[in-house]
Amino acid sequence: MNAIYRYLSFFTANRRAAAWLLVFAFILHLGFVFCNTFIADDFLQYFVLAGDERLQALGFSGSETAGSLRYALQHQFNFFDASSNAFSAQKNYGVLPWWIADNAALHLWRPLTSLTQWLDFQLWPKSLAMMHASSLLILMCAWGLLYHFYRSITAKKSVALLALLILIADVSVMFPLIWLAARNVLLVMFFLSLTLIFLQRSAENSKLILLSLLSFLAALLSAEAGVVVGGFVAAFLLFYDARSFKKRLVLLGAFIVLAVFWKLAYNAAGFGSVAVGNYIDPLQQPLHTLIHCIKFYPLLLVNVFTGIDGLVSSWPLAIFGWLLLLILMALAAKSKDKILQFTLAAVVLSLVPYIALYSSAPRFSVISHIAMALFLAQLICKNFTTFITSTWLSRGGRFLILILLVIHLPLSLLGKAAASIMASGGKAFNSDLVDKKFNGFEDFDVAGKHIIVLNSIDPFRMMFYPYRAVYHQQPLAASLRALIPAANSMSLTRIDKRHLQIRINHGLTLYGGDVDTQLIAQGEAVNNLMFEFYGFFHDGHYTMSVGQSFVFNELSLTITEVNEQSQVKAMDVELTFDGEDKRYLWLYWQWKTSNYQLFTLPKNGDTFTLNGQIH
């Protein structure tokens, strides 16, 4: 253990150590610049900037104003919005499923992120490498500023350098780096560093508090996740700042007022999410939010504490997360170390906004890692005997934390290096392979045909199908219709040439949380991440009724039976063309082979059964 500290001391003695670390970070992540791929949202956002005549002919908004900065600032993150002219066209084509609410919206406002993407398109519209390079540049600037902040509040250079190394090793930063639509996270990191730097310096120059507030506003205008910067600010003012308590409260109040005004403006302009189940509204569902928080929040804590992302939420993991938090809080309180108290509080507070999410994702912990990196570095370099009188407890605790870091750092760095090399060769993060498997349909002749999917494995990716097709200059289907999500079991009966009947005995489950509940009731593991995306189109409030109809160009759906939860048990399908018409392409998801297969309608009176994961 002493050898590790000697190596660390030797490295930190070099006055250019931070610069060498940043050079290492640049080389380590350079391969991601050449990953040459779009992911999900990127295809939709490319359309906002580039436009397409075929999509314009279908009624999708954006083509007539493609490339307009004003339009991009408003609609770069508009997935769907019932108040827009394109909503009915999206539903009629089928990229939005028939079960989406009539008032649904997922229309986010991230103007500064949109501006950077618009600039990318103006400067290098055909170079994905340069677009990814822009993201890497933002990340490098953020890391440089964060090191500057670390160094300004720590007495030891070794602590700041170790914190920077831990931050560079953070695996979760890969996802916003390779996903252009997730660049907003990197911008929040950048503006967070500026917010903290100006806030700290404002103790000597009060005029800098205005720059700190403006940096916080910039973070909010980069992403909704910018609110987590407020957690850092609150933690800094309450646990580290040396100004009088009254002054600190006034400053904190100024940041809170700014956040409130931003939120009021955000809502007044019509942005946000409505009837979307991937987000939990604490005001409308207080009890559900509380239960979700007790189990989900410690998952986020464990993600940040350990550096391990993508953990499946469970009660044992939740208990472990709460216990770990209590131990670290006791350490921070016992040490009376302001840096430990500030950074731990920043982690705890910055994770609070994420409890509104239905599920976790690696990129959500990126910002909280900024505080955790400094917390771990300070803890490792601190002499435990100053606050733990028992020698063996002091040495044991320090040794345990050091061992965890020795294990975590090499694994993270090696994993990143391997991923970076593979990404540069197109062998990692190739979303086209995933899209092709779940909703690409490249294996079928789709040109001009109406695709009807009996049971869609991933309705979320179907939303990006036409944008992805036109980007790759592929043939485009006339329409794309999913009858049910593939988690459900169903039977389909042919009545006559144009009439079908669908039956779902257990009741049509459309929300990811309900899928999880049913799987658990059946004694099955909840491990299919596809189900989490169901929440983009349904929030778990079932209001279906008998006689309710959904009419489209190629077919209409009429509900004929519902259960006591208003879930659909049966519905009639009426085709506008003969079922054998060659313009129809019938597909179904085969769970055994994990792919879409061609389907031939049964004869009149015959029934075809599809088994999903819910029985």
Q: Residue 509 in contact with residue 515, Cβ under 8 Å? A: yes
- CA dist list (Å): 98 to 177, 477, 505, 545: 34, 18, 20, 14
- What interhelical angle do 17-29 and 128-153 show, nearest 10? 150
- Written as one letter, the residue type at 409 is L
Q: How confident is the model at residue 29 (pLDDT cuts 50, 70, 90)?
A: very high
| pLDDT of 102 strictly over 80 | yes
- pLDDT value, residue 360: 59
- pLDDT value, residue 240: 95
- pLDDT value, residue 209: 96
- CA dist list (Å): 297 to 32, 310, 606: 30, 14, 50
| CA nearest neighbour of 172 among 364, 389, 376 | 364
| pLDDT of 361 strictly over 70 | no
Q: How confident is the model at residue 419 (pLDDT cuts 50, 70, 90)?
A: confident
Mean pLDDT of 506-520: 86
Q: 280: which 2 tokens?
A: 């939990």
| pLDDT of 63 strictly over 60 | no
Q: How confident is the model at residue 327 (pLDDT cuts 50, 70, 90)?
A: confident
Q: Residue 480 in contact with residue 465, Cβ under 8 Å? A: yes
Mean pLDDT in the chain? 87
Q: Where are the domains of the chain?
A: 2-34+115-424, 431-610
Count of Cβ atoms closer than 10 Å to residue 561 Cβ: 14
Question: What would the pLDDT profile of 139-189 be if each residue is shown by its tens digit?
Answer: 999 999 999 999 999 988 889 999 999 999 888 888 888 889 999 999 999
Q: 570: which 2 tokens?
A: 């049966």
Q: How far apart are CA 576 and CA 572, in angstroms?
A: 13
| pLDDT of 204 strictly over 80 | yes
| CA nearest neighbour of 195 among 159, 148, 157, 155 | 148
| pLDDT of 362 strictly over 60 | no
3-state secondary structure 332-383: HHHHCCHHHHHHHHHHHHHCHHHHHECCCCHHHHCCHHHHHHHHHHHHHHCC
Strand partners, 571: 502, 559
Q: How far apart are CA 385 and CA 401, in angstroms?
A: 15
Q: Residue 275 in contact with residue 105, Cβ under 8 Å? A: yes
Instruction: Quickly list DSSP for 482-519.
Output: EEEETTB-EEEEEEETTEEEEE-TT----SHHHHHHHH
Max Cα-Cα span within the chain:
84
Per the document, the length of the chain is: 615
Q: How far apart are CA 228 and CA 27, in angstroms?
A: 29
Count of Cβ atoms closer than 10 Å to residue 598 Cβ: 10
- pLDDT value, residue 384: 66
Q: How far apart are CA 68 and CA 327, in angstroms?
A: 53
What is the percentage of the chain residues whose pLDDT exceeds 90? 48
Q: How far apart are CA 471 and CA 103, in angstroms?
A: 29
Q: How far apart are CA 99 and CA 469, in angstroms?
A: 24
Q: How confident is the model at residue 353 (pLDDT cuts 50, 70, 90)?
A: confident
Total-model pTM: 0.92
Per mean pLDDT, which of 22-36, 48-62, 119-133, 185-199 is the most reliable? Answer: 185-199
456-461-466 Cα angle (round to 5): 105
Mean pLDDT of 265-280: 86
Q: Where are the alpha helices (DSSP H) in 272-337?
A: 286-306, 315-335
| CA nearest neighbour of 95 among 511, 444, 557, 482 | 482
- pLDDT value, residue 549: 95
Pairing of strands 105-108, 77-81: antiparallel
Sign of the four-CA dihedral 560, 82, 360, 466: positive
Count of Cβ atoms closer than 10 Å to residue 109 Cβ: 23
CA 409 to chain centre: 24
Q: How far apart are CA 610 and CA 502, in angstroms?
A: 11
Mean pLDDT of 297-305: 84
CA 17 to chain centre: 34
Torsions phi, psi of 166, nearest 5?
Answer: -60, -40
Residue 176's Cβ-count burial label (10 Å; 0-12, 13-18, 19+) is buried
501 vs 158, residue with greater confidence: 501
